[in-house]
Structure 1
C-alpha cells in the first residue's frame, strides 16, 4: 500500500523547471498560473513543530502557456522562518507549537508578543500585490514570477486586530475584499472589514462585542450579508495571556453552547439575525445565498472539534490518521431569527471545498469540489464533485495517490457553472513525485497531467490567476 505519510515530510529543495513533462490533452485555452501554499518544513534543528498547520510556508507556482507547464517552488521568507533558521530552533509561537522559553522569556512574551507571519494557508491578490495569508493580520507579499518574498504588507490604516481570516471573500461586481477579524482583550470583538479594489485601507463594515470568542477559520458571504459561525470551541482571553500554552490549546469545547450564527448586513453592519443550531465544528464555509426570507449557508462540518487534534503531526504520521474530511451541511438561517435548521447534503466526505468563484459566489449554485476519503485510514485519497442541490457525487481517484485542494477554472465563454476544468496537485509517494492534474469538470475525468520532479507536501489552498501576472 502506498504511504500517504510522505506528504507530511519536509521538502527543502527549491527548484525552477521551465517545462515539466506533460501527457494527455492539455486545454489550449488554459493560460495562467496556479499558485499554491502550504507547510513544507516541519523541523528546525532538533525541534519539531507539533501540528500540520505550523510548518514553514512554501509557495508552488504552475505557469501554463500553450500546453507548456513551468514549475517553481520557494519558501516564504517570513520573519518567523528567518528567526528560526538564524537561531537554529523554533522562534515564534505557531497555531499549536510554542517555543521553549525561560520563565523570563514567557513573561516578556505576554507584554511584547510577536505574532507569527508564517503565511502558510492561502494566497490572494490585494491591490497590486500578490500575498500569502495566515490567520494573523500579516499578509506577506511576494513576486508572482519568482516567488521571492517582498515583505509584510503595510495597510494604509490604523486597524489593530489579533486575527484575520486567511479566507477573504471578493464581492462579485464591486471586487471589494472582505475579511473577518478577532481582537482579544478586556473586551473582545469580532470585526468585518472591507478593502476596496485598488486600495490598502481596511474600512469597518461591522463590529460585535463578544465575551468568549469562537475559533472561526472562515466565514460566509451572500449578496447582502456576512455570516459568522460561532462554533462552541471558545477561549477565555485571559487564558491566552496567562496559561503559556500554544494558541489553539487555550480553546475549550463547550457543546452545551450549541452553534450560533450571526447574520450581519453589509450595507450598515447591523446584526439582523442571531440563530441557534446544534453543536458542530467547521473550518471551511462553501457558499451562502439568499432565498425566501432566509440565508442558505453551506459549510463542511464535523460533529465536534476533535479534528483539530487529529491534524497534529504525530497523529497524521501514525498508522491511525484522521480521515481529514467532514461532510457538506446546509444551514437555513431565517432572517427573522430563531432556530437554524440543517441537512446533510451528501454522504461523501469532503474538505478543502471550492466553487466556481465569481459566478457562483454569494448566489444560488450547484457544484462544490473538494478532497475526500475513499478508503478509511488513507487520509484524503480522492477528489469529489458534489451537486449541492441533489447530493449526487462524482469522484476521481488513482490507486496510491493523494490529491490536494481542487481549484476550478472556468472555460472562456463557458455556458454552465461547471464548464471548465479542475486543477489539483496530487502526491504520488511511490514515484517520489507529485503531479498537476487537470480534470474535465463536467465529466470529472482526467484530461492531462504534468509531473513535478519531487514530492510536494500536503498543502492547503491556492488560487488560479489568469493571463500574465
Structure 2
C-alpha cells in the first residue's frame, strides 16, 4: 500500500462505493468554490469499508470490507485530505497473503467448514469513528475500538479503556455523547451466561467520562438476539428499539457451516 499525492480515480461514480480504493492520499484540496472561512479550524472524520476484494477473492458481504478513515482538516482558509486504512491483523495479514484469511459477517474462509470451525469473525474496524476523551477510535459492531493517531492516522492498536472492555465484550459503532455531561455512552451485544436453552443474550452498556475513563458498566437481559443497530439517548435514558429482525440459531456459525448473515431472520412472534 502506497501513500501518494492526488491521482485520478477511473471508477465510474455509480459503482465507486463498492470498489476498492487501493491508494492512500495526502494532499491539499485546491478545487474550492468560493472561500473557506479563515476562522474555521477543525477536523472532520469519516470511516467506511475501503476494499471489498483481496487478490482474486471478493468478500461475501460489504460489512466485511476493511476500514478506511478519511480526514478533512480545515485551517486558515485551507483544507487538507488524508485517508489511511486501519491496520488491523485482518488487513495486514490479508494484504500480505493476497487472499481471504479471516471470517466475517458474511464471508467464509475458503476450505469448507474445517477452515471456519470455531473461528470468530474478524473486526474490520469499518463502520464509524469517534473522537472522545483524547482518543480517535475506529468502530465496528462486532469488536473493540481501534485507536488511530489524529493527523497521521497511524494505527495505534486495539483500544480497551485500560482493560475495562473484557475479551468477550464488543463495543458498537453507534455510541452517543450525552449533551449535558459530555459522557460517551455506548453498548454492545453480549452473553450474560448459559442456561438450559443455550446462551443468555444481553446488552452491555458502557459510560465513558469526558477524559476518556470508562467508569460505569451495566447489563440488560434479553429474550433473544435482536439485530440492534442503534439507540436513542435522552437526559436519563438509553432507548433501544428491539424489532423482529433477530439472529437465529448460531450453532451453524460456531460449527463453521454458515455465516452470521445467513442466520439473520424474521421473528413473527
TM category (shorter chain) comes to: 0.7 to 0.9
1:96 partnered with 2:103: no
Q: Deviations over 1:193-213 (max 9, x none)?
A: 211221343521x42222321
User: Which of the residues 171, 183, 186 maps onto 2:190?
Assistant: 183
| Greater share of strand | 1
Does the C-alpha gap of structure 1 residues 52 and 221 become closer, same or farther in structure 2, counting only changes over 3 Å? same
Is 1:135 the counterpart of 2:145? The answer is: no
**Paired residues of 1:117 and 1:139 also in contact (CA < 8 A):** no
Distance 2:60 2:116 in 1: 19
2:199 is equivalent to residue 199 of structure 1: no
Deviation string, structure 1 residues 392-447 (Cα, Å, up to 9, x no partner): xxxxxxxxxxxxxxxxxxxxxxxxxxxxxxxxxxxxxxxxxxxxxxxxxxxxxxxx
CA shift for structure 1 position 146? 0.8
Aligned to 2:8: none
SS of alignment partner, residue 249 of structure 1? helix
Greater relative contact order (CA < 8 Å, ≥ 6 in sequence): 1
Q: Determine if contact 1:161/1:181 at 8 Å carries over to the other structure.
A: no
Q: Which residue of 2 aligns with 1:53?
A: 63
1:168 paired to 2:175 = yes
For 1:52-451, what aligned pairs fall within 5 Å after superposition? 52-107=62-117, 110=118, 113-156=119-162, 157=164, 159-184=166-191, 186-201=199-214, 203-204=216-217, 206-235=218-247, 236-242=249-255, 244-254=257-267, 256-257=268-269
Separation in structure 2 between the aligned mates of residue 106 and residue 73 of structure 1, nearest angstrom: 32
Aligned pairs, how many?
A: 250
SS in 2 for 1:193: strand
Counterpart-to-counterpart distance in 1, 2:30 and 2:156 = 27
Aligned-residue RMSD, C-alpha: 2.1
Q: 1:165 to 1:210 in 2, by over 3 A?
A: same
Larger radius of gyration: 1
Paired residues of 2:64 and 2:104 also in contact (CA < 8 A)? yes
- Per-residue deviation, residues 339-387 of structure 1 (Å, max 9, x unmatched): xxxxxxxxxxxxxxxxxxxxxxxxxxxxxxxxxxxxxxxxxxxxxxxxx
Asked if the contact 2:91–2:124 (Cα under 8 Å) also holds between the matched residues in 1, the reply is: yes
Q: Aligned pair in 2 of structure 1 residues 58, 31: CA closer, same or farther (>3 Å)? A: same
Cα distance, 1:159 vs structure 2: 3.5
Per-residue CA deviation, residues 263-318 of structure 1 (Å, 9 max, x unaligned), is xxxxxxxxxxxxxxxxxxxxxxxxxxxxxxxxxxxxxxxxxxxxxxxxxxxxxxxx
Cα distance in 1 between the residues matched to 2:122 and 2:178: 28
Cα distance 1:9–1:104, how it changes in 2: closer, same or farther (>3 A)? Answer: closer
Residue segments in structure 1 that go unaligned for 5+ positions in a row = 258-469
Ranges in structure 2 where 5+ consecutive residues have no aligned partner: 1-11
SS at 2:219 equivalent: strand
CA distance in 1, matches of 2:233, 2:20: 35
Quick check: 1:57–1:118 contact (8 Å CA) kept in 2? yes
1:423: which partner in 2?
none
Cα distance per residue 1:129-168 (max 9 Å; x no partner): 1111111231111111111111111322254545432010
Q: CA deviation at 1:54?
A: 1.8
Of stretches 120-129 and 225-234 in structure 1, the one that deviates more from structure 2 is 120-129
The TM-score normalised by the length of structure 1 is 0.50
Shift of residue 6, structure 1, vs aligned partner = 2.5
